[in-house]
């Protein structure tokens, strides 16, 4: 009942937070990157409505006063964080083995 109250009453107040109903699935918060890559899954079943609200706000989601309230400019892309600094390519393994090459070109930015 706590998760259901969050879904029906609180989600409409958060900017960039969407609900997708999956019949039979346990409720969880799925965090996605700007490229819609899955970053993390957080189970919600054992959390209270207050705990879920606190967590979502700590993650950086902007909570509006009403579902139709405007979102300030600085929160338009919230909760997106600055892009991480890319690390230089790793050195080849020291065991003399080379990693297998993929048949397909890799595109880390997609």
Per-residue pLDDT tens digits for 19-46: 998 899 999 999 988 888 999 999 999 9
Residue 82 lies in a domain: no
Residue 97 lies in a domain: no
> Residue 8 is part of a domain; what is its CATH number?
3.40.30.50
Phi-psi label, residue 15: left if phi above 0, alpha if psi -120 to 50, beta otherwise: beta
pLDDT at 34: 82
Q: Tell me how far apart the alpha carbons of residues 14 and 16 are, in angstroms, rounded to a whole number.
A: 6
| Domain enclosing residue 30, as ranges | 2-75
Q: Tell me how far apart the alpha carbons of residues 42 and 39 are, in angstroms, rounded to a whole number.
A: 10
Residue 84 lies in a domain: no
pLDDT at 82: 58
Residue 37 lies in a domain: yes
Q: Tell me how far apart the alpha carbons of residues 19 and 27 are, in angstroms, rounded to a whole number.
A: 10
Query: What pTM was computed for the model?
Result: 0.69
């Amino acid at each position: 009942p706590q998760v259901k109250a969050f879904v029906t009453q609180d989600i409409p107040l958060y900017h960039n937070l969407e609900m997708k109903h999956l019949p039979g699935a346990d409720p969880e918060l799925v965090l996605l990157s700007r490229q819609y890559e899955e970053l993390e899954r957080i189970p919600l079943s054992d959390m209270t409505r207050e705990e879920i609200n606190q967590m979502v706000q700590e993650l950086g989601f902007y909570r509006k006063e009403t579902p139709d309230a405007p979102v300030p400019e600085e929160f338009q892309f919230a909760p997106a964080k600055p892009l991480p600094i890319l690390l230089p390519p790793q050195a080849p393994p020291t065991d003399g083995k080379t990693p297998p090459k993929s048949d397909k070109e890799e595109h880390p930015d997609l």
